[in-house]
Amino acid sequence: MDWKTLYDQALPYQAFLDRFGTPAHRERWQAVYERVRLGEAQQALLKGFERQMYLLCLAGTWCGDCVLQCPVLQRLAETTGKIGLRLVDRDDQSALQDALALNAGRRVPVVIFLSEDFQECGRYGERTLSTYRRMAHERLGAACPTGIVPPGPDHLADVVADWLGEVERIQLMLRLSPRLRIAHGD
């Protein structure tokens, strides 16, 4: 995959919502975005990042899992200049959705983590661990929540922590990468 070209063609958060979201979709995403909070320690962690990383997110404005997670990704990216975030509409990129299929399904959101030179470093997505734990506990039968009812504050905080942990993992991978350490002289 030519991740740089795909990233360059993808849209920033608000442009993605404006292009693909209905007013109801945008309202749901905004409601979650306004509720995402990062603690002081979480903000300090993000502000301490040294390596540039890019997140390319395959999403759908209609998807309840995206309603919950993409605003979290936007908040993380806003906190540091070291995270670039772009979104691609799942239904607008059939080749990409096929390449990112999980468990033989076209699931969203899926994030591709890219280094400063657009090398793939990892993939994460569809649902976070805390979401799966919650679903298992509540025995949810729906394949995809609607996003109409925003998550409770504890669950949203858990999702933030899940994503922050994965972003930190990739940042540490980049910091410890021999090729990037040579390139940066550290």
Q: What is the pLDDT of residues 88-137, one digit of tens each?
A: 999 998 889 889 988 888 889 999 999 999 999 999 988 888 888 777 76
The CATH architecture that domain 3-184 belongs to is: 3-Layer(aba) Sandwich (3.40)
Buried b (16+ CB within 10 A) or exposed e, 23-60: eebeebbeebbebbebeeebeebbeebebbbbbbbbbb
Please give the DSSP secondary-structure letter assigned to residue 81. Answer: T
The pLDDT of residue 16 is: 98
Mean per-residue pLDDT, 131-160: 69
Asked whether 16 and 65 are in contact (CB, 8 A), the reply is no
Where do the domains of the chain lie? 3-184
Asked whether 51 and 82 are in contact (CB, 8 A), the reply is yes
pLDDT in tens, 32-85: 999 999 999 999 999 999 999 999 999 999 999 999 999 999 999 999 999 999
- pLDDT of 149 above 80: no
Instruction: Please report, as a single letter, which amino acid is at residue 11.
Output: L
